[in-house]
Structure 1
Amino acid sequence: MAETLSQIERDAVKNRAKELRAQEKAGKDRAAGLAAVEEAIAKLDGLDKELAAGVHRIVTETAPHLAPKTYYGFAAYANADGKVVCFFKPSSKFKVRYATFEFEAPAALDDGDMWPTAFALTALTPETEKRIADLVRKAAA
């Protein structure tokens, strides 16, 4: 029996196509990307919103050269080639118990034969903020 996409997955694909069309239209307009990220964060509630806003602040302060954009509706940050380096995935998106801060292939996090690319995030403490900043600094190098 063939697997089919869930409604959440179908919606994600449709939203991603819409994002790509909007990004193509906007070109390399940093202001449009920033507005899209701020809009995506504003749509979140509770802890997801707090965490996303904190991650956004940390990433933009730590790696201002990364361009904000949305990625499947998530707040994301891309390199000069437009490739997503990192993004915040809220827990509410897939109804899971924690949000994640994740890295894509362009992130320079390589460490031997195996390294983490996704981190569960439940609070922004001074320690987690420092760890996020360190990871972003390394990923965006």
Structure 2
Amino acid sequence: MSAAKSTNGSDGFSPEERAAMKERAAELRAEGKKGGKKADELQALLDGIAKMAPEDRALAERVHVTVTANAPQLSPKTWYGMPAYANAAGKIVLFFQNAGKFNYRYSTLGFQDAANLDDGDLWPVAYALRQWSPEVEKKVAELVRQAVA
């Protein structure tokens, strides 16, 4: 997966993105108890991503950037140790499961029942992720926007 490049030209978060996330966590902590909880959940998600193998970490970072850009109303948190994003009711809408978590050959972007992906009587709720590309980013962004619509 080392051939995969994010749209910002790196394999993960840019220094600017890292700084912005730290600033946002500090803002949330400054909001008080509720903001502090959100900041802690964001930090737990970022810490979880940081512990991943480089290939998984690069994918998780790009998923995080895409989710937060396309669904800012979702709250980042961890769910069973995986990066996840919850709606205002606290229900998990989507999650990222890195390949290394269960020694799979691919990472997974999964959606829970709170996601609005319904399409008749059958629809996909999990997607294999092997490499990040502009096409993958576009598809993930579309899925995230649909999930919160």
Structures share a fold, TM > 0.5?
yes
Q: 1:91 corresponds to which residue?
A: 99
Q: 2:110 corresponds to which residue?
A: 102
Q: What is the SS of the residue equivalent to 1:85? A: strand
Shift of residue 46, structure 1, vs aligned partner: 1.6
- Answer yes or no: is 1:63 the counterpart of 2:63: no
Structure 2: any 5+ residue segments left out of the alignment? 1-32
Question: For 2:127 and 2:105, how far apart are their aligned partners in 1?
Answer: 13
Cα-Cα RMSD: 1.2
Q: 2:15 corresponds to which residue?
A: none
Structure 1: any 5+ residue segments left out of the alignment? 1-25
Shift of residue 93, structure 1, vs aligned partner: 0.6
Question: For 1:104 and 1:27, how far apart are their aligned partners in 2?
Answer: 24
Shift of residue 140, structure 1, vs aligned partner: 1.2
Question: Match for 2:50 among 39, 42, 45?
Answer: 42
Q: How many percent identity over aligned positions? A: 50
Shift of residue 27, structure 1, vs aligned partner: 5.6
Q: What is the SS of the residue equivalent to 1:87? A: strand
Q: 2:146 corresponds to which residue?
A: 138
Q: Which runs of 4+ in 1 moved over 4 A?
A: none
| Alignment TM-score, normalising by the size of structure 1 | 0.79
